């Protein structure tokens, strides 16, 4: 009996030391950074900035792999099932937390299947209108829509996108007769508003920033806690008396659940250091984003908050993708 206990005790010691050994010397080979969208979009661009900075600071190549399909669901489903050894991580957008409520079935659970690493950057939604629309503030826009039932619609970059849900949140809050017109991306949604075909658009700031600055559309409000870089004269929703309408587009890094905490914390620290660099902040600002670089615990709490917030909007607006 004593010999059996000694064997079990030795096994327990070996098991207990296994997890730290996974992190020892990390990384000692290239690390894959999966992006669930085609190259060129904001998530992809920010993932490449992060990958380059991690390569520089940790001395191993971090390379981006694009796996498109189903609004990011295909990639998330694959990453959820790879070994949790830190050699595959994923750059996510807000769809990562919205899709489980929006789609009838998704191949992952954003909380159970993943560990948050760091929220890299956020970009606010903005409401823009064609210059022919007489409203110049959000309260004036609400009154204009109420005075003209059935007349106004808003463009958004696809069903379930953060701008679409931000528009639905606005519509529900004021009980407006306002119809969503989905487009196959942000660029055509903005162009429809520039051309006057869809008089209003809810977009992420990067998509409409150049059109705002060129005077092709007029920005009425920023759905954030503070004013946005690039359009500092545009007031927030809250400044205009429109409360609880914040709608950020998030870009962050997650890893498969079970990834050693030492690795998660290392990546989180290095991302925070990178985001704090002036040159990285400038690149993010040029994209319409604000750098964050928070801890795993902070990002995990934000993910849970976003799941609850947008899940309620999806249910209240009766949205569903089969």
- Percent helix, strand and coil across the chain, each rounded to 5? 45, 20, 35
Angle at 144 between CA 139 and CA 145, to 5 degrees: 100
Q: Do residue 111 and residue 254 come from a single domain?
A: yes
| Mean of pLDDT values over 165-182 | 96
Same domain membership, residue 114 and residue 56: yes
Q: How far apart are CA 160 and CA 10, in angstroms?
A: 52
pLDDT confidence tier of residue 21, bands split at 50, 70 and 90: low
In a domain, 152, yes or no: yes
Across the chain, mean pLDDT equals 91
Q: Give the residue with greater pLDDT, 146 vs 158.
A: 146
Averaged over 67-92, what is the pLDDT?
96
Whole-number Å distance between alpha carbons of 125 and 45: 18
pLDDT (average), residues 260-268:
98
pLDDT digits (tens, 9 = 90+) for 231-243: 999 999 999 999 9
- Let me know whether 261 and 213 are in one domain: no
Same domain, 134 and 115: no
Same domain assignment for residues 275 and 216:
no
- Residues 115 and 131: their CA atoms lie apart, in Å, by 45
For residue 224, the model assigns a pLDDT of: 92
Shared domain check, 144 and 229: yes
Q: Tens of pLDDT along 291-315?
A: 999 999 999 999 999 999 999 999 9
Q: Is residue 322 part of a domain?
A: no
Last residue of a domain, one of 213, 240, 267: 240
Secondary structure (3-state) at 127 = strand
How far, CA to CA in Å, does 295 sit from each of 40, 85, 106, 264?
27, 19, 27, 9
Q: Which residue is listed with tokens 């869809």? A: 198
Percent residues over pLDDT 70 in the chain: 93
Is the pLDDT at 20 greater than 60? The verdict is no
Q: Does residue 226 surpass a pLDDT of 50? A: yes
Q: Is residue 21 part of a domain?
A: no
Measured CA to CA, the distance from residue 259 to residue 263 in angstroms comes to 7
Asked if 260 and 119 sit in the same domain, the reply is yes
Q: Is the pLDDT of residue 9 over 80?
A: no
* Residue position matching structure tokens 């498969």: 256
CATH at residue 158 = 3.40.190.10
Reported confidence tier of residue 22, pLDDT bands at 50, 70, 90: low
Count of domains observed in the chain: 2
- Whether 15 is covered by a domain: the verdict is no
pLDDT in tens, 101-132: 999 999 999 999 999 999 999 999 999 999 99
Q: Looking at beta carbons, which pairs linking 17-23 to residues 24 or more positions away fall under 8 Å?
A: 19/260, 20/260, 20/262, 22/85, 22/86, 22/260, 22/263, 23/86, 23/260, 23/262, 23/263, 23/266
For residues 213 and 115, membership in a common domain is answered with no
> How many other β-carbons are positioned within 10 Å of the β-carbon of residue 14?
10
Model confidence at 41, in pLDDT bands (50, 70, 90)? confident
DSSP symbols for 20-35: HHHHTT--SS-EEEEE
* Residue 4 within a domain: no
Whether 12 is covered by a domain: the verdict is: no
- Tokens standing for 195? 């051309």
pLDDT value at 71 more than 90: no
Q: Look up the domain containing 113 and give its range.
A: 30-123+249-316
pTM attached to this predicted model = 0.87
Do 129 and 212 belong together in one domain?
Answer: yes
Provide the pLDDT for residue 14. 45
- Looking at the fold, whether 119 and 135 belong to one and the same domain comes out as no
Residue 39 lies in a domain: yes
CA angle 257, 68, 74 (to 5 degrees): 45
Is the model's pLDDT at 145 over the cut of 50?
A: yes
Judge if 141 and 225 occupy the same domain: yes
Q: Are residues 51 and 91 in the same domain?
A: yes
What's the pLDDT at 5?
Answer: 42
Residue 194 lies in a domain: yes
- Looking at the predicted structure, is the pLDDT value of residue 11 above 50? no
Last residue of a domain, one of 175, 210, 240: 240
Out of 240, 264, 282, pick the residue that ends a domain. Answer: 240
- Cα–Cα distance between 173 and 167 in angstroms, integer? 10
């Amino acid at each position: 009996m004593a010999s059996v206990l000694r064997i079990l005790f030795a096994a327990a010691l070996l098991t207990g030391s296994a997890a730290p050994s996974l992190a020892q010397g990390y990384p000692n080979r290239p690390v894959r950074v999966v992006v669930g969208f085609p190259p060129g979009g904001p998530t992809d661009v920010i993932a490449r900035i992060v990958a380059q900075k991690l390569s520089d600071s940790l001395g191993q190549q971090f390379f981006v792999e694009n796996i498109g399909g189903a609004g990011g669901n295909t990639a998330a489903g694959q990453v959820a099932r790879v070994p949790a050894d830190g050699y595959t991580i994923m750059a996510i957008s807000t769809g990562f937390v919205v899709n489980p409520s929006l789609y009838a079935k998704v191949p992952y659970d954003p909380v159970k299947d993943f560990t948050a690493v760091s929220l890299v950057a956020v970009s606010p939604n903005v409401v823009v209108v064609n210059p022919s629309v007489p409203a110049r503030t959000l309260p004036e826009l609400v009154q204009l829509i109420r005075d003209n039932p059935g007349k106004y619609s808003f463009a958004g970059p696809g069903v379930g996108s953060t701008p679409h849900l931000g528009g639905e949140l606005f519509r529900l809050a004021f009980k407006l007769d306002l119809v969503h017109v989905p487009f196959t991306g942000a660029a055509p949604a903005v162009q429809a508003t520039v051309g006057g075909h869809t008089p209003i658009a809810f977009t992420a700031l990067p998509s409409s920033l150049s059109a705002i600055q060129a005077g092709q559309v007029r920005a009425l409000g920023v759905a954030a806690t503070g004013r946005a870089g690039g359009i500092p004269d545009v007031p927030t929703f809250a400044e205009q008396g429109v409360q609880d309408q914040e709608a950020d587009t998030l870009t962050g890094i997650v890893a498969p659940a079970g990834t050693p905490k030492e690795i998660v914390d290392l990546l989180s620290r290095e991302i925070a250091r990178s985001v704090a660099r002036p040159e990285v902040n400038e690149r993010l600002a040029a994209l319409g984003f604000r750098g964050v670089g928070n801890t795993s615990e902070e990002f995990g709490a934000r993910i849970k908050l976003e799941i609850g917030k947008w899940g309620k909007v999806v249910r209240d607006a009766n949205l569903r993708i089969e």
